Structure 1
Amino acid sequence: MDQTLWVTISEEEGQQMMAMWPDIVHDITKEIENSNNPDVAKWAEKMLQYTVPGGKKTRAFALIIAYKLLAPSDQLTEENIRLVRILAWCLELFQTYILVIDDIQDRSLLRRGKPCWYRYNDIGPAAINDGLLLQTAMFYLIRKYFKEKDYYVNLLETFYDIGFKTIIGQNSDLFSTNFGKKSNLDLFTMNQYNSIVKYKTSYYSFVIPIIAAMHIAGIKDHEKFRETKTILFKIRNLYQVQDDYLGWFGKFDVCGKNGTDIQEGKCTWFVVLALQRVTPEQRKILEECYGDSDPEKVHRVKQLFTDLGLLNTYSTYEEETYNLLKEHIK
């Protein structure tokens, strides 16, 4: 899709989405109030307003635009578009649930340009429960608005299945970083990296918006679902490598967060390639410095990546993968 058209659609959909946000918050908090928990409802509203609406909403836009492109014209009624936008907010709740938990595990400081939720008023580990509230609120909305639809079971199974796969990916990522201890560089292989990308983020970031749109649009052909997933996995790999680049060079004023992949000892595309190229002496630098927050050690790792020519490799990979994807989509 042309970039200008995407931006225009995003702006229009952003306005439509935000117009629905108060109703989404009301639905969730009203259900909590109905369980005789007014204090929890007030807390939930504060948490929802702080954590959910500030993202780029790319998953939400992908779902809405895919539905509009795939659905027969007689399906594109005002009510159906409204339902798809409600499901788009469910995707945003899903995304925020993952981020709230992930930030605690990674001990991240900033998210979307402000302190992570667990750091807000020193909430701490109690934010785990807020993450779970986001997840269960998502399923509550799906049941409320889609239970009578003939695609409800497929939709529900898609969310459950992808939620399960995402948690598997998160565990795989935690194993690769040795649960916050010094990274075991022997685990940093391209197979491990691709597995983390596929399970931790590909499913919920790229697969679920399009697959959900296909279900709502009434598509039944299993081959179409298979081909779609294949392309989406390839797109996600490219996106993740780009994200790893931001983790290396990312600046707060550009992406709203500080790049801390090196300090956290993450299994990134760059460190995997570096391990394939290093001399024994250079590997010692990684073993000593990777996964350490000391600014001097972080600088040494970044300098090693530069010395190994990883920036040029990244630029070539990005261009070639993009061109291959265009051909695959055709």
Structure 2
Amino acid sequence: MTIPQGLIDPAPGTGLDAIAAATNSRLVELCGAFRGHLLNVDPNLNPLADVTDAIIAAGGKRIRPAFVWWGHRATQIEPNDAVLTIAAAVELLHTFALIHDDIMDRASTRRGAVTSHVAMTSFHDDQALIGDRQWFGISSGIIAGDLVSVWADQAFWQAGLSPEVLMDAVEVYNTMRAEVMAGQWLDVRLAALPQASVAESEHVALLKSGRYSITRPLELGVALAGECDPSLLRALRTYGDSVGVAFQMRDDVLGMFGNQTETGKSVGGDIREGKRTVLILTALERATPTQRAILNQCLGNAHVDADQLEQVREIVRETGAADYVEARITDQYEIAQAAIEPVGNPAKRVLLELADLAVHRSR
């Protein structure tokens, strides 16, 4: 495959769009083949294939493939078709994580559509199946996530990497997978702790989002180039960790104050799920006894209504927690900008654009 010029040196502001379009095309190719193999096993697996196809086709920002691609371009090594396949594999890994995350969060929507386990619950209804409809949906969602994880690995191994590059790439890929699992469980643990600290929440954000979403994809892109200047890798790691933490904090802000139509997921979901985000923990630390009682009453309460959510938002503003998190996002953004200074163009320009998007996004 010939790599389009727009992927090698995109026009300003199109670095993410270019890789998203290319990743989508590669995902269509890969998942079409994977689906065909699945249905050869048994045609009754068609509904399972449908729910996996739906969440993949629903899109998303394709942030992780972009960082794989531009991590590779930062090495100044000419990209090839294998880099795009690995980028698509990383997006499939992310899809697996989203499907399971939605189950853990009891989420009903993702990317503006019903989540996989909810879709499978509806399938149970439509087919007049017997037994516990919700348990069927959850069980099917877990299996759908596992299936996409297998597809991610298949895509990775089909990229055609040389043995030397493959060894380095697999090491980064395995680290990324282990860290996101670690971050997920630490997030579950954090929500269950009677007391939690802002520092603990920031560590979870680094593992679950920062390393998994940005730093490790960048490192994976570098690994695909073979040998690399250690100073470049250090710069990309500093940039990745900083943008990653800012990215998660922005996600927390959007989860509290965002527009549900734009974000594609339930606003207030973090409160109902009892998430101990930096935003919430800062508010709890600074709250008056009365404010803290309201926050504790709402946090983890699945039946919180719109008025109660507005009360929580007001407390987050009044305690200065919202301003604190915005300041932390700005600090991390500035660290990332400084770290990326030695990187050559066009990678430097696009990585700065991606940092800006991650920090200042509205969805």
Partner AA of 1:139 in structure 2:
D
> What CA distance in whole angstroms lies between the structure 2 residues aligned with 1:244 and 1:190?
13
1:294 corresponds, among 271, 285, 304, to 304
Residues 32 and 40 in structure 1, CA contact (< 8 A), matched pair in contact too: no
Question: 1:198 maps to which residue?
Answer: 206
Question: 2:321 maps to which residue?
Answer: 310
Residues 67 and 217 in structure 2, CA contact (< 8 A), matched pair in contact too: yes
Return 5+ residue gaps in structure 2 as ranges: 1-9, 122-136, 342-363
Partner AA of 1:266 in structure 2:
K
> What CA distance in whole angstroms lies between the structure 2 residues aligned with 1:12 and 1:281?
50
Shift of 1:225: 3.0
Q: Normalising to structure 1: TM-score of the pair?
A: 0.86
| Structure 1 range deviating more: 205-214 or 228-237 | 228-237
Return 5+ residue gaps in structure 1 as ranges: none
The yes-or-no answer on 1:134 pairing with 2:139 is no
Tell me, what secondary structure is at the counterpart of 1:294?
Answer: coil
Report how many residues are paired.
313
Residues 25 and 45 in structure 1, CA contact (< 8 A), matched pair in contact too: no
| Structure 1 range deviating more: 98-107 or 213-222 | 213-222
Partner AA of 1:306 in structure 2:
R
Tell me, what secondary structure is at the counterpart of 1:150?
Answer: helix
For residues 149-160 of structure 1, what are the structure 2 equivalents within 5 Å?
149-160=163-174
Partner AA of 2:175 in structure 1:
D
> What CA distance in whole angstroms lies between the structure 1 residues aligned with 2:238 and 2:63?
19
Question: 1:112 maps to which residue?
Answer: 111
Q: 1:154 to 1:104 in 2, by over 3 A?
A: same
The yes-or-no answer on 1:163 pairing with 2:203 is no
1:60 corresponds, among 36, 43, 65, to 65
Question: 1:225 maps to which residue?
Answer: 233
> What CA distance in whole angstroms lies between the structure 1 residues aligned with 2:153 and 2:208?
20
Shift of 1:57: 0.8
* Greater RCO (CA < 8 Å, at least 6 residues apart): 2
Tell me, what secondary structure is at the counterpart of 1:177?
Answer: helix
Residues 103 and 116 in structure 1, CA contact (< 8 A), matched pair in contact too: yes
1:11 corresponds, among 17, 20, 27, to 17
> What CA distance in whole angstroms lies between the structure 2 residues aligned with 1:135 and 1:127?
12
Shift of 1:60: 1.2
Question: 1:48 maps to which residue?
Answer: 52
Partner AA of 1:202 in structure 2:
G
Partner AA of 1:328 in structure 2:
A
1:244 corresponds, among 252, 257, 263, to 252
Residues 290 and 297 in structure 1, CA contact (< 8 A), matched pair in contact too: no
Q: 1:318 to 1:168 in 2, by over 3 A?
A: closer
Question: 2:353 maps to which residue?
Answer: none
Partner AA of 2:183 in structure 1:
G
Residues 94 and 138 in structure 1, CA contact (< 8 A), matched pair in contact too: yes
The yes-or-no answer on 1:256 pairing with 2:260 is no
Q: 1:47 to 1:6 in 2, by over 3 A?
A: farther
Cα deviation, 1:187-221, whole Å, max 9, x if unaligned, reads 2x122102211221222211222111101112344
Q: 1:142 to 1:325 in 2, by over 3 A?
A: closer
% identical equivalent positions: 21
Residues 25 and 48 in structure 1, CA contact (< 8 A), matched pair in contact too: no
The yes-or-no answer on 1:267 pairing with 2:268 is no
Q: 1:227 to 1:40 in 2, by over 3 A?
A: farther
Shift of 1:41: 5.9
| Structure 1 range deviating more: 151-160 or 41-50 | 41-50
Q: Could you say which structure has the higher helix fraction?
A: 1
| Structure 1 range deviating more: 127-136 or 295-304 | 295-304
Tell me, what secondary structure is at the counterpart of 1:107?
Answer: coil
1:38 corresponds, among 33, 36, 42, to 42
